[in-house]
Structure formats: structure tokens, C-alpha cells
Amino acid sequence: MSYCETRRHELRKSRLLMVDGNLVSNTRSVEAGASARIYEGGYWGFAASPATDAEGLSRVTDKARRNAAAMARFGPRAALPLPGGRYRGEHEFRGRAPLSPKDCVERMAELHAWCVDRYPGLKSTRVLVGDEHHRKQLATSEGSEVLNSIQRALCYLTLIAEDAHGAPVEVSEQLSSKGHLGDLDWSVEALAPALDRLHEHLQAKRVAVAPRGGLHNVVMAAPLAGMLAHEAMGHPCEADLVLGGAVTGDLLGQRVASDLVSMVDFAHSFEGREVMIPVYADDEGTPARDAVLIRNGMLTEFMSSRETAARLGVAATGSARAYAPGDEPLVRMRNTAILPGRDKLDDMVAGMGDGYLLLKTVNGQADSTTEFMFGISLAYEVRDGRVGRAIRDTTISGSAIKVLQSVDAVSDAMHWSCSGYCGKKQLMVVSMGGPALRAQVHVGGE
């Protein structure tokens, strides 16, 4: 059996960083190229080139075929019937008029000046903004012809002060949206309420106390729950990692979370609206569908490419994606989220007794066993259901399965973000979301 796909891919990125009113970085890049992938005789061949014209595409396709033939020297292998079907369509986001670099620098300077004037005790400010645009034209031997356009914009605002001992403390606010920086409302007027709250958190962190180490009741705010969904449970539900020995491979149809928890990797829509990273067809031309990973606590399915779906004997989810023009598609998440529940955040905190309210995370990592560790950059003590003192930066860790099994409340408010990257051999733009969760987790501390 023989299969061929070709992709013309253009990637545009911009990023500006201002520190204390001084522009220290202003980068813009354009990367373009064509790639081809051949499946023949049970082996894949891949090739990429900067040339995107018809002649360049022909050369790269021939090179991919020769690479597949070279791989076949390892010995005969049965070719799999690759599922997935075909898709024809064009999807491009058209939003507001873009901002010029001059517009962006002026707005960043305005934000810095406003913060310095309103919060006189600040030691430093950082404003980071950027956007990127992926435009992919795909054709396959199955008959798919797709134009996919994915755009996202981000803005990071960081305020820095000193504690009583002169040590720096900082807090950050992250904004993101579909489109470019002209589509993201990051004006002073729009951000003023969020910046006031951020400054209140900064003052609380200046007198923060050390957390108590050990297993604790916690309420994880929505951004943190989204990170847990992505890092700790999302990756182990990617079919290539399942085939590579992830613990989830033996848990299909079994309980991995509280019955309050359902988790989905959305393809392109949520509750009738387009999500932040819409994928209507993946980079193999497979029509993309939602992958329901957990339904009412039960592990139900995995995200897959054509080949991994064939190996698992399931329908493909359209989850094969490549980040850069020279990258080969891998099984990747798109818009991974825990679904909202019925509880109110204030009630979740009030009913917790003693524990911690975890608001912001700076990073996270997990492995195929669902063991994870996240850095916590903003959190508060909770005593008798009341929010108390801020705690110093710390970590949380544990098994995502055990944490999700301990969930006893899920908030009704949904939060989405597409401000970060996912790393798995290559970068990837993704979005993650969720409500707040009340659960038990190990907190690092004294």
C-alpha cells in the first residue's frame, strides 16, 4: 500500500520585549518550505526543502520516496491500511487590522509608564508581546486538499518588587487570543483591573510565608487545572506514547479520575464556538474530530495519527501535526481541557477546610506514568475555609491519576489559554483549558 502527502508551510513570528521602559528585543522571522511524506512497503520516507514551487515540490516528493525505499533495506514489513479518510476545505481567521511594530512599542511603553505611576514601589516591569501565524496547504493521495491557518497572540506582564529582606518577588499576568496582536485587547484601559489585582498579589507575596510540605487539600485555579490536563494526562493519551509503553495503554475502559471529571481534546469547536487553535484537518489530511479522553472518570480513547490508529485498531482523531516547515507530523494535542462542573469557586474554597488555593503556575513537566511536578508562582493559605497569607514559590507533585481520582468539586467557570508551547521533539502551538478543581496533591515546603 502506498500513501503520499505534501505540505507547503509558511510560519511567521514576531516577539518584542520591554524591560523598565527599554525595548531590549524586537524580532521578526519568516520560515517557509515544502515537505513530502511517503508510506510505502510498510516504511515512511520524509523530506523537506525551502523551495515551495512545483519543481521543488516534485524534487522533495521524489526524495521522500527514495528515503522510504532506503528504510525498506531493514527488511520486509507488512504495510498497514491507513485510516483517516479525506478532507477538502479552507480555513483562515480574519480579525481586526494588525498593529505595526511602532504601535506595539508605543503601547508597551504606555503600559510601563502607567504601572510606574500607579504602583510607585515597583523595582522593575517587563512587557512581552508576540504573535505567530501558521499557513499550511496540504494535499494527499487520499484526496485531501486543505488550507489551514492557525494564528495566536500573547502578552505577558510582569511586576517585580522586593520583600522585607531585599529579595526580588514577582507576579505575572498572561493574556492570549486567536489572531494577531491587533485582535488581542491589551490596552491600558482593558488591563487596568487585572493589573490592580496583580499588584495586590505582589504586595501579598512580599510578606509570604513558607508552605507546609506534604499531602494537602488544594483548590487549583483554572489555569493550573489546564496545565494538569495537558501535561499530566494529555501526553500519556497520545497514541504514539501509548504504543511506546505509557501507563494509560493498560487502563482503557478503567476509572482514572473522579466521576466529576471529563476531559476532551477539542479539534476546532467548543460549545458552538471556534477554539483558539482550530484544526479542521490535521497535517495528514485527516478530518479532525474531538477526542474524548475521559468521560465521567473513565478513560475512553486516545489521540491518534493515521498509523497509530491503524496499530491500535481505532478511528483516527486527526491529531498529527507539524510545527515548522521542515518538521514531520507527530501525534500532538490541539485544545485539551477538563470540562466545567457546577460548583462555585468561592464555595469550593470555603468548603475545603485547611489547605491551599493555587492560582498560577510557571512551568510543568510529566512523564508517561502520569507522574508530574509543576512550579507554583502564586498561592495562598486556606484556614477554616478562609483565604489567608500568600505563600512563597513552591512546587506540587504527584500522580495525575491519583490527583484526578481525589477531585470532589469542579467549578462552573471555564478558562482557556494559548500563550505557551508544548514540547515533544518539536515545539507546538496548543491551547489548554478547564475549570477550577478541588483535590489532594503533594505541596513542597518546610
Say if residues 152 and 131 touch (Cβ distance below 8 Å): yes
Q: Within this chain, do residues 84 and 189 fall inside the same structural domain, yes or no?
A: yes
Mean pLDDT to the nearest integer, 144-160: 97
* CA separation for the pair 176, 196 (Å, rounded): 19
Q: Is the domain of 230 the same as that of 370? A: yes
**Taking residues 417-422, what's their average pLDDT?**
92
SS3 category, 285? coil
* 152 and 64 together in one domain: yes
Cα-based distances in Å from 264 to 223, 238, 252, 292, 345: 16, 12, 15, 4, 22
Q: Phi first, then psi: what are they for 239, rounded to 5°?
A: -60, -35
Q: Are residues 71 and 122 in the same domain?
A: yes
> Which of 206, 228, 249 is at the close of a domain?
206
Q: Is 232 exposed, middle or buried (0-12, 13-18, 19+ CB in 10 A)?
A: buried
More confident of the two residues 359 and 423: 359
Alpha helices by DSSP H, listed for 251-341, are: 306-312
Please write the tens of the pLDDT for every residue from 228-259. Answer: 889 889 999 999 999 999 999 999 999 999 99
Domain count, the chain: 2
pLDDT score, position 365:
82
Percentage of the chain lying above the pLDDT 90 cut: 93
Number of H-type helices and E-type strands within the chain = 8, 26
Residue 312 CA to residue 223 CA, distance in Å, equals: 32
Instruction: Quote the pLDDT of residue 5.
Output: 97
C-alpha cell belonging to residue 348: 469550593
Is the same domain home to 162 and 224?
no
Say what the pLDDT of residue 445 is. Answer: 87
At residue 364, the pLDDT reads 78
Phi, psi at 122, each rounded to 5°: -65, 145
pTM for the whole structure: 0.95
57 and 194 housed in the same domain: yes
pLDDT band at 262 (very low <50, low <70, confident <90, very high): very high
Q: Residue 444 carries which side chain, given as an amino acid letter?
A: G
Do 283 and 411 share a domain, yes or no?
yes
Residue 423: partners with Cβ closer than 8 Å, 6 or more residues away: none
Q: Are 404 and 187 in contact (CB under 8 A)?
A: no
User: For residue 1, what pLDDT is reported?
Assistant: 56
Read off the C-alpha cell for 89.
476545505
CB atoms within 10 A of CB 141: 14
Domain match, 32 and 161 both: yes
| 122 and 15 together in one domain | yes
**pLDDT on residue 149:** 94
- Identify the domain boundary among 206, 224, 245: 206
- When pLDDT is cut at 50, 70 and 90, the band that residue 195 belongs to is very high
Q: What is the tens place of the pLDDT at every residue in 370-391? A: 999 999 999 999 999 999 999 9
Rounded to the nearest integer, the mean pLDDT of the chain is 95
Q: Which residues span the domain enclosing 396?
A: 214-443
What pLDDT does 159 receive?
98
Residue 446 banded pLDDT, cuts 50, 70, 90: confident
274 and 162: one domain? no
Return the pLDDT at 441.
97
For residues 294 and 417, membership in a common domain is answered with yes
- The 8 Å CB, 24+ separation contacts for 201-204 are 201/171, 201/359, 201/378, 201/390, 202/119, 202/159, 202/161, 202/169, 202/170, 202/171, 203/161, 204/380, 204/389, 204/390
pLDDT at 57 over 80: yes
Q: Which residues, including other chains, have CB under 8 Å from residue 233's CB and lie 6 or more apart?
A: 256, 263, 293, 294, 370, 400, 401, 404
Q: What is the pLDDT of residues 295-318, one digit of tens each?
A: 999 999 999 999 999 999 999 999
- Where is the domain boundary, 206, 237, 256? 206
Burial 295-316 (b: 16+ CB within 10 A, else e): bebbbbbbbbbbbbbbebeeeb
- 198 with 231, same domain? no
CATH of the domain at 129: 3.30.2290.10
Task: Give residue-wise pLDDT tens across range 114-129.
Answer: 999 999 999 999 999 9
